[in-house]
Chain A
Amino acid sequence: MKLNNFLASAAMVLGLATAAVADDKTKVGFVYVGPVGDGGWTYEHNKGRLAVEEEFGDKVETVFVENVAEGPDAERVMTQMALEGADLIFTTSFGYMDPTINVAKKFPNVKFEHATGYKRAANVSTYSARFYEGRAVQGHIAGKMTKSNIVGYIGSFPIPEVIRGINSTYIHAKKVNPDVQFKIVWVYTWFDPAKEADAAKVLIEQGADVVLQHTDSTAPQAAAQEAGNVITFGQASDMGEYAPMPRVSSIIDNWAPYYIARTKAVMDGTWESVDTWDGISTGMVEIGEISDAVPADVKAEALAMVEAIGSGAYNPFTGPLKKQDGSDWLGEGETADDGTLAGMNFYVEGIEGDIPQ
């Protein structure tokens, strides 16, 4: 897979090299971890790229390289993009963090935007969405709808973003269903439909009737559909083709406004290194339509929660909350600060199992 990714990216970089053009267009590059047709994470980033093209028309040129492995390959691809005259490069996966910083050092005049990371520099911004806000809504629906009281969760890599999602889901499922139990499987990939399908099947075989995924393909949805009475949630993209069952709702990452704003900033010369972390309130996180498979009262509660989070009235990480080891984390009414959330490396009380270190 590594070799194949490497070759694919190398070939595409060569392609980019030969297509070099020199003009005054603003050139925006995108580095993707999966294929644009994954139906999830990369698909939404690519929609953002298309929105940039739509917005600025002839004034902008976008390039992208898909299936770029996290690691040295990514560095090569970014370097090539910068050499080809890209003015702004979006690197759209957590594992591109160090490569982005390394390449940014070599090209101080090129602006970089790294998604979901926490390392910044004068020409490196970070941006992410508060997916955990959407997870809270999903946790509520999951807790209300599970009959077996077993919720399956497919984790990709044990990084803070994924752990936040698990905690947020669990807190809200537990709140409405004290008997709920989480089974978590780590697949160590963002995109591998066969493995994601296997993980979903395993969870279903072990009694889960709700399956959540933090991986990029729609394979778990297909596995749940085949199994019958199992509900799922669209991840990163609406995955509406699996509605109304198994997909009962979704988190949609809407990157388009951000990508347009940042491209505009580069054009106007007002670009600055910033740390953006938006959620439901700005629309960066959207909640996909809650289907009719969800009972009307549960749907109303879920929508009320979306409303409350969006208006800032409710924070999904509001105390009293304890860590898994029983130690206190947040007191009554206290809310988590962004620093703790950004580096979250612990489960909340009640989740079984250890986070792989």
Chain B
Amino acid sequence: MDLSAINPVLLIASLMVAATPLLLAAIGELVVEKAGVLNLGVEGMMIVGAISGFAISVETGSPYLGFLCAAIGGAVLSLLFVILTQYALANQVASGLALTLFGLGISSLMGQSYVGIKPPATGEIWLPILSDLPVIGPIFFQHDPILYFGIALVAAVWVLLKYSRFGLILRAVGENHDAAHALGYKVVRVRTLAILFGGACAGLGGAYISLIRVPQWTEGMTAGVGWIALALVVFASWKPWRALIGAYLFGGITVLQLNLQAAGVAIPVEYLAMSPYLITILVLVILSADKSSAPAALGRIFHASN
């Protein structure tokens, strides 16, 4: 065993990178579920975002344009979910699963000619003085802008949900859509906006994998992150900051367990491999002991005549 081989600064820096796709997807889904909609298509929207972003940044040479198009790509796919669930009043669980299957399929079609290509590099933010600081510099001031955007998004969603009028309406729609409707709020419109936001966030998360974390395009490369994001929202009791803690815990322990393995720590590998799931669930369950519950109208279909 040689723990000195693990560099804690690099470890923390890389856990932030590992957590960001999960965080982006989870914060989007959190808003969707707060509006009373269960969209199981996160994985599908992520992978479509991953290829949209990858293709556009390869073609244009601009990673930021890629991220923008990834968000648009994810949102466009979620539009399908909007049509199915908000207008055709289809079952949300089935529609969400269909969205994932469709997303996986269409992404591999879109990605046919992008296998084995290297995307343009996303620059890291470099602040004079701050980025040069030992320890603090690499951890806080040497990342790509999208990582900071993810954290800012969590803060923005938190403020929006908790303190703004629109947040109140969105939560009302998610708790009791009939009451919200009776008060004159446009339930379908609010939900549509929330779903589009969720799609855009998932798309960004997917592009973060294909443009920064891996960076390349491979079919099926999100490999289940969308499902973990879905679980994370539940375990985070629909609270933005807890989603952030959960994502960082999961990303952190994933990276840490690989580090421990490489350093030859004498813990059986099976325990290390399952530790991210176990510890994240455990911590979030303990945190959610305060009886916070799911939005009451989650997954229920709204029709104005009912």
Chain A residues lying within 8 Å of B213, measured Cβ to Cβ, are: 194, 197-198
User: In the complex, A265→B301 CA distance in Å?
Assistant: 57
Q: Is the CB of B259 within 8 A of A186?
A: no
User: In the complex, A223→B223 CA distance in Å?
Assistant: 17
Chain A residues lying within 8 Å of B261, measured Cβ to Cβ, are: 184-186
Residues from 16 to 52 in A contacting B, C-beta threshold 8 Å = 34-39
- The main secondary structure of chain B at its interface with chain A is helix
Counting CB contacts under 8 A, is A225 at the interface?
yes
- A1 and B227 in contact, given A202-B255, A202-B259 (Cβ under 8 angstroms): yes
Counting CB contacts under 8 A, is A143 at the interface?
no
Counting CB contacts under 8 A, is B215 at the interface?
yes
Q: Is the CB of A206 within 8 A of B263?
A: yes
User: In the complex, A323→B215 CA distance in Å?
Assistant: 39
Chain B residues lying within 8 Å of A223, measured Cβ to Cβ, are: 214
Q: Is the CB of B258 within 8 A of A198?
A: yes
Stretch at the interface among A4-12, A92-100, A288-296: A4-12
User: In the complex, A38→B108 CA distance in Å?
Assistant: 10
The contact string, 1 if C-beta is below 8 Å from chain A, for chain B 94-107, is 00010011001000
Chain B residues lying within 8 Å of A4, measured Cβ to Cβ, are: 43, 100-101, 104, 224, 227
Chain A residues lying within 8 Å of B5, measured Cβ to Cβ, are: 206-207
Chain B residues lying within 8 Å of A70, measured Cβ to Cβ, are: none
Counting CB contacts under 8 A, is A195 at the interface?
yes
Q: Is the CB of B270 within 8 A of A356?
A: yes
User: In the complex, A8→B69 CA distance in Å?
Assistant: 26
Counting CB contacts under 8 A, is B278 at the interface?
no
User: In the complex, A202→B220 CA distance in Å?
Assistant: 23
Enumerate chain B interface residues (CB-CB to A < 8 A).
Answer: 5-7, 10-11, 14, 18, 21, 43, 97, 100-101, 104, 108, 111-112, 115-118, 209, 213-216, 218-225, 227, 254-255, 258-259, 261-264, 266, 268-270, 273
Enumerate chain A interface residues (CB-CB to B < 8 A).
Answer: 1, 3-4, 7-8, 11, 34-39, 67, 152, 158, 183-189, 191-195, 197-199, 201-203, 205-207, 217-219, 222-223, 225-226, 241, 352-354, 356-357
Further contacts, 16 of them, CB under 8 A, given A35-B220, A194-B214, A198-B14: A1-B227, A7-B101, A35-B108, A37-B108, A39-B116, A183-B262, A186-B273, A191-B220, A191-B223, A202-B255, A202-B258, A202-B259, A203-B262, A206-B6, A222-B118, A222-B215
11 contacts between A and B (CB under 8 A): A4-B224, A11-B101, A185-B258, A186-B269, A186-B273, A202-B262, A206-B6, A218-B116, A219-B214, A219-B221, A356-B268
